[in-house]
Amino acid sequence: MFLSNWRALSAPVMMAVVLAVGCGESSTTQSIRVDGSSTVFPISMSVAEDFRTDHPDLKVPVRASGTGGGMKQFSAGDIDICNASRHMTDSEKETCKQNKVDYLELVVAFDGLAVVVNPENDWCDCITIEQLKNIWRPESDGTVTKWSDVNPDWPEEELKLYGPGTDSGTFDYFTEVVCGEARASRPDYTASENDNALVRGVVADKGALCYFGIAYYAENKDELKLLGVKADGECVVPTEATVRDGTYAPLSRPLMIYVNKKSLERPEVAEFVKFYLANAGKAATEVGYVPVNDEVAAESDKLLSEALPKTDKKGT
């Protein structure tokens, strides 16, 4: 008797409990929604975490659907802040205009792509963009297999390539800048998101060549040899300074956040963006990017304070 009653009761009780707890107010009404580039994600997440210690009641869910996915939501007005590792495309700007989404573009850090080789590689100190293109473009699959294929002065060492995976922003960026088209790359390289795997690979192969974010190089600089990159002018080695002032080109890029101006009307969003700009430098260094220089920082602050609702104009 007890048995059947117990069983009969438990289901509705469990249901009631789950639904009661689970049907609370949707968390997104009071949260600051951030989404977008997986490259900028670590910075935003770091800032969001620090922000939470000061404002434990505010929710800042940070997602990394990719710049494209983030832009889609941003231009539809679904999210407050879009992390971006590239500028908005014209069609995205169009969509924003159509949906009456007015936005701010704020640069929060710089990212550099380092090209590294095995320390025993003594024939190459500087590589040109042309040479990189020759190595990495899709047609080179199977044809460019030795260092001597790229430059006859170089030895006939077999070329072993490493790089980030195809779903990373770094990959998109490198291929666009070097090969001319995003995602155009030869497929026969060892792809990995795991920088440890890439570093191990480069260290083991005398003829290895790898590109990844400058942060990974910084963590493993004792084991790798960094190449300078020559575009049109001189050979530039990526350092914090050269990335920041733009001389390390074209393999350095700005990392940005796009902020919906309408969201700035909410005090918590305004607070968060201010906090972001103030702490982006610290977060960027922690994560391994290059903080912005003072000029750019001042520019961003100015843009922000102009965009804030006039009644809420406080100093940064």
Partner 1 sequence: MSISQHSDGRPYAKFASELFAWTCGFCTFLCIAVLGLLLWNVVSFGWDSLSWKFLTSWPSMKPANSGIWAALVGSLYLIGLTALFSVPIGVGSAIYLEEYAPPSRWRTLVQINIANLAGVPSIVYGILGLGLFVQMMMLGKSVMSGALTLTLVVLPIVILSTQESLRAVPGTIRQASYALGATRWQTIWYQLLPASLPGIMTGVILALSRALGEAAPLVAIGAATYVSFTPQNIFTDEFAALPLQIFNWAQEPKKEFHQLAAAGIVVLLTVLILMNAVAVILRQRFSKKIRW
Partner 2 sequence: MATATPKVSALRSSSGGVKYRAAVELIVHSLLLGCAAISIITTVGIVLILLIESLPFFQEVSVWEFLTGTKWSPLLKPQHFGILPLFCGTLLVTAGSAIIAIPIGLGTAIFLSEYASSGFRDVVKPILEILAGIPSVVFGYLAVVFISPLIREVFPSADLFNAANASIVVGFMILPTIVSISEDVLRSVPRSLREGAYALGATKLDVTVGVVVPAAASGIMASFLLAIARATGETMAVALAAGNTPKMTFSFLESIQTMAAYIVQICQGDTPADSLEYRTIFAVGLALFTFTLILNVLAQWILTHVREKYE
Structural element, H or E, at residue 55: none
Residue 122 interaction partner, one of partner 1, partner 2, none, beta carbon < 5-8 Å per kind: none
Which residue has tokens 């497929």?
Answer: 187
Q: By CB under 8 A, name the one of 45, 107, 135, 257 that touches partner 1.
A: 45
Q: Are strands 252-260 and 103-117 parallel, antiparallel or unpaired?
A: antiparallel
Contact residue for partner 1 among 91, 99, 196, 316 (CB under 8 A): 196
Q: Is 98 in the site for partner 1 (CB under 8 A)?
A: no
Binding test (CB under 8 A) with partner 1, winner from 25, 54, 222, 294: 25
Residue from 146, 166, 180, 197 that binds partner 1 (CB under 8 A)? 197
Residue 111 within binding range of partner 1, rule CB under 8 A: no
Strands 103-117 and 228-230: unpaired
Is residue 303 close enough to count as binding partner 2 by CB under 8 A?
A: no
Site string for partner 2, 27-56 (x = CB under 8 A): -----------x------------------
Crossing angle between the packed helical segments 41-54 and 267-287, to the nearest 10 degrees? 120
Q: How far apart (Å, rounded) are the C-alpha atoms in residues 34 and 82?
A: 6
- Name the DSSP class of 237: -
Asked if 83 touches partner 2 (CB under 8 A), the answer is no
End-to-end C-alpha distance for the chain, whole angstroms: 70
Helix (H, G, I), strand (E, B) or coil at 187: coil
Residue 230, burial from CB neighbour count under 10 angstroms (0-12, 13-18, 19+): middle
Beta pairing, strands 290-291 & 103-117: antiparallel
Contact indicator for 287, 195 with CB cutoff of 8 Å: no
Q: Smallest distance, Å, CB 158 to partner 2?
A: 13
Nearest to partner 2 of 99, 316 (CB atom): 99
- The bridge status of strand 34-36 relative to strand 160-163 is unpaired
26 binds, among partner 1, partner 2, none (CB under 5 to 8 A by kind): partner 1
> Closest CB to partner 1 among 11 and 153?
11
The closest of 274, 277, 276 to 314, measured between CA atoms, is: 274
| Residue 188 binding target from partner 2, partner 1, none, CB below 5 to 8 Å by type | partner 2
Per CB under 8 A, does 194 bind partner 2?
yes
Chain residues that interact with partner 2, rule: CB under 8 A: 1-3, 38, 64-69, 72, 138, 165-167, 175, 181-185, 187-188, 190-192, 194, 196-197, 200-201, 204
Chain residues that interact with partner 1, rule: CB under 8 A: 3-4, 7, 11, 14-15, 18-19, 22-28, 31, 41-42, 45-46, 48-49, 52, 59-64, 193-197, 286-287
